[in-house]
Structure 1
Amino acid sequence: MRQRTPEIVAVTVLALLVVLFAVFGSGGSGGDSGGGETVSPERLARVERRVEQLRGLRFKRPVSVTVMTPAEVEAYGVRDEQASESRERVEAGEELMKLLGLLAPDVDMDAVTASIYGEQVAGFYDPRTERLALVEGVGIDDVTLAHELTHALEDQHFDLQRLGGTGESSDSGTSSDDDRSSGESGLVEGSATAVMLRYLQRYPGALTFGDALDQLGAASGSTPLPPYIMSSLLFPYEQGEQFVEALLARGGWSTVNTALRSRPPLTTADLYEPSRWFARTRPASLSLPAGDAAGPGWRLLERSTLGEFDLRAVLAEAIGARAAATLSGGWQGGRYALWRQGPLPAPDCAAPCMQRDAFTLRLRFDSPAAAGAVAAAFGSWLAAEHDARRAAAAELAPRRAVDSAARGAPASGAVATATRWTLAGGTAAVTSADGADVTLTLAPTPALAARLSR
């Protein structure tokens, strides 16, 4: 589930890297960390020239710089959130994250968003206004400034605003491709982080060990972020940089330019495994129940993709991060739909409201064995996250089993296997069919779970 934020965690990533550089003797002892001062035109020009040399591109026009107070940044963040997504979609995202156990039930995402924008921003580049925004009273070092200026430079050449969008609205709910958006963000942030690290290597005095420790403390803010939110914010910087390094190793910056210009990653799986990008591997096309499949009184809130990053996050709590990464490595495609009965939020039913939510997730893996392992892991997840109890449910997916046989599917996929789980306020169904497909469904009743599993 994509998090819309400006440049809020580059300082955290940078500080961690610089601490490592300093510990192992690569950090400098001096440099221009900026303090709390506004970036001077001379300093900006110097960092711009260095970024041009490292990136192999020239600025087409000067970069506009604006200074904002922390309060203005927070207000900007709230306006950006409201302008980019409807209130219902924001609330649907929060409901879904809580339903999947990615957020604790008592987390207030409005407060989290305010914390992100109000406490943890040092500066950011906005491709819509083509401005570099700096926060008054918050120093920005040359290395982080190089990161932001890389965004500005690449925006002038490749139009970054077209990358990382969340999707488009449909008549029957919101349809989007969040996993693709996260993959695109990984390319953009990964490229800027790669330049940032090269800047640090070329000009080690641009940030000192003390600066790094100070920034690492400041970046955490006074309000700790939920683990999933923090990991989703760090992901495009960390994994995106590894993806870009793989592109650089094969074809240099011209290959990165190709990706930015016309071939961005299609999934977060591409970031984990760059060979998918080189092979032009596309995610599997998966069907979902129709928008009105839940029946009268239900409305479709959201349709989107769920990729390898989010699958790892969902499974990690139940089976551990390493096992989750191994199982998720077989991901070939994933889509989900979320329906709601009644208002969202509901004053009489706290999130996640199992009595009024219906959710279907359909995934495809690279082998029946991988699909079976993930289906079993979903059982562990249901038991851990929802205190679910297993119940017999052979009748849950007869239509998918018949459809598989009618299409001449292999014997391993000809008979659907389904398990029903009972949990507080609802029912869960885990269905394995068509060989390498797995469907997870959560609904208030067994009948609705069966219908949405087909």
Structure 2
Amino acid sequence: MKLFFYRWLALGLALATGFLGFQTWELRRRVADLRDTVALLEQERRELARQAATPVVEKPEQRAELRQQIEQQTSALRGLPFRGPVTYKMISRSELRDVLIRQVREQYTEEEARAYGRCFEALGVIPPGTDLMALFIRLYDEQVGAFYIPQERALYTFQDMSWSAGMDRMILAHELTHALQDQHYDLTKFPLHVKDNDDLALATSALLEGDATVLMTQFYARSAAEGG
């Protein structure tokens, strides 16, 4: 009886030891993953600090060559060729507001904008009396890096962006993914702005933005691995 008990005890100890060993291995793996993530974030922080301290001035021919490289890398990562040249429109930061106002007015009437505003006020999202469209434009004005407009088949960038800077390259890769989507699937046919089904519009936007965000992450990971 004692022998039977000791055998089960030994088996239990072996299983417990194995489980603890697996847990230890899993913990070490997670720590290693976190260290890699921290290293990538630190590299990004240094890159942003470097860009802020030493803005890069590129000649037009340099910009064109670097942009072509980013197009090729984006196409390879996405697995889709560009079917034609991408139309670029370079604007200043001060010109962005006019473009945003035009886009908002094309998508929403004044009455629709007021209706959305009343809805958000009722939900407590914004204070009463807030001009929702003005708020929307101000937020975009502060945060947007570049953007693609399917109706124009055009990719808007800013004059102060540098295609040799890591963050700007990553942003361009994201927007070039939208250009690829448009060339292959025609984004104007997607229900991005349907007014009677917000869930459909949100799901469609999530699909397209998710695609571009995954590629942007892959682009960043490859650039970091290559030291670029």
TM-score (norm 1): 0.36
Structure with the higher fraction of residues in strand conformation: 1
Please say if 1:186 is aligned against 2:206.
yes
Tell me the CA shift for residue 164 of structure 1: 4.2
For 1:181-210, what per-residue CA distance to the aligned partner results, in whole angstroms no more than 9, with x for missing partners? 0110000000000001111111117898xx
Partner in structure 2 of residue 89 of structure 1: 112
User: Who is 1:161 aligned against?
Assistant: 188
| Code of the aligned partner of 1:101 | G
Sort the Cα spacing of 1:207 and 1:80 in 2 relative to 1 into closer, same or farther, 3 A. farther
Structure 1 position 72, deviation (Å): 1.7
2: CA distance, partners of 1:110 / 1:134: 22
Q: Which stretches of structure 1, 4 residues or longer, exceed 6 Å deviation after superposition?
A: 28-34, 205-208
User: Partner amino acid for 1:42?
Assistant: E
Query: Are the equivalent residues in 2 in contact too, given 1:124–1:132 (CA < 8 A)?
Result: yes
Query: 2:28 corresponds to which residue?
Result: none
Any idea what the Cα deviations from partners look like across 1:250-286, whole Å, max 9, x if unmatched? xxxxxxxxxxxxxxxxxxxxxxxxxxxxxxxxxxxxx
In the alignment, structure 1 segments of 5+ residues that lack a partner are: 1-19, 169-175, 209-454
Who is 2:74 aligned against? 51
**What is residue 398 of structure 1 aligned with on the other side?**
none
| SS of equivalent residue, structure 1 residue 203 | helix
**Corresponding letter in the other structure for 1:161:** T
**Structure 1 111/84 Cα, relative in aligned 2: closer, same or farther at 3 Å?**
closer
Displacement of 1:108 after TM fit?
2.8
Does the 8 Å contact 1:122/1:134 carry over to 2?
yes
Change (3 A) 1:150 1:189: same
Residue of structure 2 in register with 1:268 after alignment: none
Residue 103 of structure 1 is matched in structure 2 by 126
Q: Deviations over 1:376-404 (max 9, x none)?
A: xxxxxxxxxxxxxxxxxxxxxxxxxxxxx
Q: Which residue of 2 aligns with 1:437?
A: none
Q: Which of the numbers 145, 156, 173 marks the counterpart of 1:146? A: 173
In structure 2, do the counterparts of structure 1 residues 190 and 35 end up closer, same or farther at CA, with 3 Å as the change threshold?
Answer: farther
Q: Deviations over 1:133-158 (max 9, x none)?
A: 11222456211111111111111001
Equivalents in 1 of 2:227, 2:106: separation in Å? 36
- Give, in whole Å, the separation in 1 of the partners of 2:205 and 2:127: 26
Q: Which residue of 1 aligns with 2:155?
A: 132
- Write the mapping of 1:353-432 to structure 2, written as runs, cut at 5 A: none
Distance change (3 Å), C-alpha of 1:49 and 1:138: closer
Which residue identity does 1:90 align to in structure 2? Answer: A
Q: Deviation of residue 118 (structure 1)?
A: 2.6
Per-residue CA deviation, residues 266-325 of structure 1 (Å, 9 max, x unaligned), is: xxxxxxxxxxxxxxxxxxxxxxxxxxxxxxxxxxxxxxxxxxxxxxxxxxxxxxxxxxxx
1:24 correspondence with 2:43: no
Q: Distance in 2 between matches of 1:21 and 1:185?
A: 30
Q: Is contact 1:77–1:113 with CA below 8 Å preserved after alignment? A: no
Distance 1:60 1:69 in 2: 28
TM-score by length of 2: 0.69
1:122 aligns with 2:145: yes
Contact 2:113 2:133 in 1 (8 A): no
Contact 2:91-2:159 within 8 A present in 1 as well? yes
Greater fraction of residues in helix: 2
Please tell me whether Structure 1 or Structure 2 has the larger radius of gyration of its CA atoms: 2
Distance 1:166 1:154 in 2: 17
Aligned pair count reads 182
Q: Is the 8 A contact 2:77 2:219 kept in 1?
A: yes
SS in 1 for 2:130: coil
Q: Could you tell me which residue of structure 2 aligns to residue 197 of structure 1?
A: 217
> Is the partner of 2:157 in helix, strand or coil?
strand
